[in-house]
Amino acid sequence: MHRLPVLNGTQCLLFRSLLTPSQRISGRLHNVSRGISYYFQGRISASTALSFPKPRQIVPVHSQPISQREAHTIDSPSSAVIPEPYSPPTSGILAHLPRSWVPYAELIRIDKPTGTYYLFFPCLFSTLMAAPLATPMATPLSVIGTAALFFAGALVMRGAGCSINDLWDQNLDKHVTRTRHRPLARGAITPFKALAYTGAQLLTGLGILLQFPTSCLFYGIPSLVLVASYPLAKRVTYYPQFVLGLTFSWGAIMGFPALGVDLLSNSAALSAAALLYASNVSWTVLYDMIYAHMDIKDDAKAGIKSIALKHDADTKKVLSGLAVVQIGLLGAAGMVIGAGPAFYIGSCGGAALTLGWMIKRVNLKSVKDCWWWFVNGCWITGGAISLGLGVDYLLKYAKDDDKTNSLEN
């Protein structure tokens, strides 16, 4: 590149003298315009620098991934997170089943047996309460055999109940985080196949029921109406847990006819069965209210009603009231049949301690904590009531056996 020569002062004057007057004026105007241009360019550049700062790198605020439940509650379409797809089970009993069996096993919740235990405990309570009333008094072996049949029935009928529930709720389950991967909700089973499978379960349950005395058939069949109506109750009332309680507590009646105790001719047995049944209804509402808190946000969006939604602000007060009712009715049932100290200390006292502990400790805002208490509360409270009834029965049986032996001698 060629550089222009640099002129000294004398050379500049000589060059200027050679210009005509018009050329000199034109040159001055050009210099002025250049100066004005440079001035405004500088002002504009400065203004631009002040008004539009250099863009900074945007750093994400949340470095941790959003959980499934949090993602589900985001309303803005721009911030919505696609739910995780269904993943086949890799552990537990479901992982060992043929893949084609898995949806049917999931439908009956075979990997989540807590519901079976909750259905079984009222049967066990009534069996232990009825045993001393039987004539002659039921032997421990007959009590164990009756309880085993009840457990088989609870296993089958709980599965049937889950199937009926999912048939009703298949469209609602798609909108709830915890249930959107259920077999019917995700389309792994057709409604027709689920209906046929439910029918097979009900026939199996009938076969188990026929193993009991004939009178049990007349007491057991009406419960099917309640089994089918619970899913409907969730759509029309905020208290579907009471319908669930009427359903799950039916076993509190069944133990009496199962051991040959006629409820229609024995007023004490009838009163005890009614009080025990009502006590179990209260217990069912209590534990299912805790269970319902796991889905409270999704239920509100999906239009599913529950007592947890209705009494979200004062849940623990409601739970405390239900516990008092449950224990009071349980104690009244014991008074009717002449229960001993073991029952009041073990069953009533144990229920009071365990329920009080659970109500105080459970964190209703934590899904994980609600699930823990729902699962373990079954054994803690149900076990305490069973222990008190069992000890009371064994003490009476031992006393009756001694009396029989003394008469024979």
Chain segment 162-185, per-residue pLDDT in tens: 999 999 989 888 888 888 999 999
Q: The tokens of 26 are what?
A: 């034109």
The model's confidence at residue 232, banded by pLDDT at 50, 70 and 90, is confident
Identify the burial level of 215 via C-beta atoms within 10 angstroms of its C-beta, where 0-12 means exposed, 13-18 middle and 19 or more buried.
middle
pLDDT tens, residue by residue, 189-199: 999 999 999 99
| pLDDT of 370 higher than 70 | yes
Q: Which domain holds residue 196?
A: 93-408
For the chain, the domain total comes to 1
pLDDT tens, residue by residue, 234-243: 888 999 999 9
| Closest of 254, 253, 257 to residue 277, by C-alpha | 253
For a pLDDT cut of 70, what percent of the chain falls above it?
78
Mark out the alpha helices in 73-213 (DSSP H runs): 102-107, 114-130, 140-173, 183-186, 191-209
Q: Is position 82 within any domain?
A: no
Q: Is position 221 within any domain?
A: yes
Mean pLDDT of 317-335: 98
**For residue 136, is the peptide bond before it cis, meaning its omega torsion is within 30 degrees of 0?**
yes
The per-residue pLDDT for 16 is: 53
The per-residue pLDDT for 122 is: 98
Mean pLDDT of 293-320: 90
| Inter-axis angle of helices 367-408 and 350-361, nearest 10 | 180
Residues 81-118 as b/e (b if ≥16 CB within 10 A, e otherwise) read eeeeeeeeeeeeebeebeeeebbbbbbbbbeebbbbbb
Q: Is position 87 within any domain?
A: no
Q: Is position 45 within any domain?
A: no
pLDDT tens, residue by residue, 91-112: 899 999 999 999 999 999 999 9
| Owner of token pair 């899904």 | 367
Q: Is position 39 within any domain?
A: no
The per-residue pLDDT for 80 is: 42
For a pLDDT cut of 90, what percent of the chain falls above it?
65
The torsion region of residue 163 among left (phi > 0), alpha (psi -120 to 50) and beta comes to: alpha
Amino acid at position 232, single letter: L
The per-residue pLDDT for 9 is: 52
Q: Is position 401 within any domain?
A: yes
Domain CATH code at residue 226: 1.10.357.140
Mean pLDDT of 390-398: 97
Give the count of beta carbons closer than 10 Å to the beta carbon of residue 388. Answer: 27
The model's confidence at residue 338, banded by pLDDT at 50, 70 and 90, is very high
The three-point CA angle 54-58-59 to 5° equals 140
Q: Is position 12 within any domain?
A: no
